[in-house]
Structure 1
Amino acid sequence: MKMQGNTILITGGGSGIGRALAEAFYRLGNQVVIAGRRKELLEQVIAANPGMGAATVDMSDAGSIQRFADQVRKDYPGLNVVINNAGIMRPEKILDGSLDDAEAIITTNLLGPIRLTAALLSQLMQQPQGAIVNVSSGLAFLPLAATPTYCATKAAIHSYTQSLRYQLKDTSLQVLELVPPYVQTELMGPGQASDPHAMPLKDFIDETMRLFGDTPQSNEICVERVKPLRFAEANGNYVEFFKQFNDQSTSALP
């Protein structure tokens, strides 16, 4: 993936990793468009980064995604990079029997990126060079039992990304997977942004941007901090690590 001269769309760009990625790519001179549900957050990002574009979209709603994609094609005909970053993460108690959170997470985290990719694929393929970047998680490879559906959607995004990459291998598009660790954002609430156990957001973005630039042919972007999760199965200590990880993590969740 080239680092400059792109027109980049980033979903979930109003806060957290999405905003930080948007600002990092914007500083490199790319045209950047952020998207999200909350207009007020998008406006705050635009105010801090004059010249950046923004548009609202509900990634849980198929009609909203289609209308959004139609507008993006009109407003940004040179769009060549999409970063599917938007997502929600909620703890679930499976024994409670409620599926409201599970269904919302699946619709947003899995169907959302699939729908947006399908809606914009023909435009992306018209560009001489481009990329689709799907944001998964270290929890795709070793799940946090307290957030079962979130982890399942990220595992599905990993699988979908592999298939998408294979099907697009003879096109102008590179398909990448960004695999974050636990990062200081507000994904699980304000307390996460200052949790000392989470990777500082700036450190994550700095390392991620270096990896984007230094390994242009890499299929996965994995900072060092996420590698114990990413490679737990290959390292042969999955069962023990899964128990230890969940024993330590679950008690700290809200």
Structure 2
Amino acid sequence: MTRQRLLTALLAVITLAAVSPFVLMLVIALSPSDEPTLPHGLPGSLTLRNLTEVFTTSGLPRWLVNTSVYAAVSVVVVLLSASMAAYVFARKRFPGRDALLWSLVATLMVPVHTVVMPSLLLIALMGWVDTYWGLIVPTLANAQAVLLLRQFIRALPDEVFDAVRIDGAGDWRTYWHVVLPMCRPVLATLAVFVFLWHWNDFLWPLVAARSGSMYTLTVGLSAVSAEHLGLPEVMSVAAVTALPCLLVFALLRRHLFSDLAR
């Protein structure tokens, strides 16, 4: 019993340490600019004035749209393309399959920073700099998603695919009506991770964007910080950046936990 209480206390301390920065961020974001705020003291009242001011005086609405498009389109395309590739690698036999698979695995060993400049040169040659095409397309190849889905599809019962084949279903029908529904838990997990990766991405949007109208929230937050605004205004932008991530996690947490428990 004592051991269980100690474990509970330890988990409570870890949870408090993890949550406290977000609480402090919200308190500072809602603090009036003309009153002392953390870490100098507790504000006497809370207000949304900082948030409304940032929305009206900065490019925050545009940055929010850019980040939403960047994350949402990437999630849909990555899940579809990765699941198709995973189905082929898991259930189809063709010459060079293993070589392609190991080549895909090898790309995970390459640091992402080493391909930033080649990717920038490619989108510059295509005229995609400072466009949605240049922002989204170079980030769609996701080897981790392909490998995770491949392992999941390989573990599916062979009897299911034999029954579908006997019914005369082709590859596309098998993929759309059998593989995707059975992969729903792992797809939900990948959706969370891919969304968070793109929503919080900083390096590539910083390189691919040239004008403020194409900034994402992370790049815009850096620009706002560089403008020497008050701490409450900066924390307001940070709160807007963090809130959608919490909402996505709240919506998909059931699928996420069920998949992690497998």
Higher RCO (CA < 8 A, seq sep 6+): 2
Structure number with higher strand proportion: 1
TM-score by length of 2: 0.23
TM-score by length of 1: 0.24
Structure number with higher helix proportion: 2
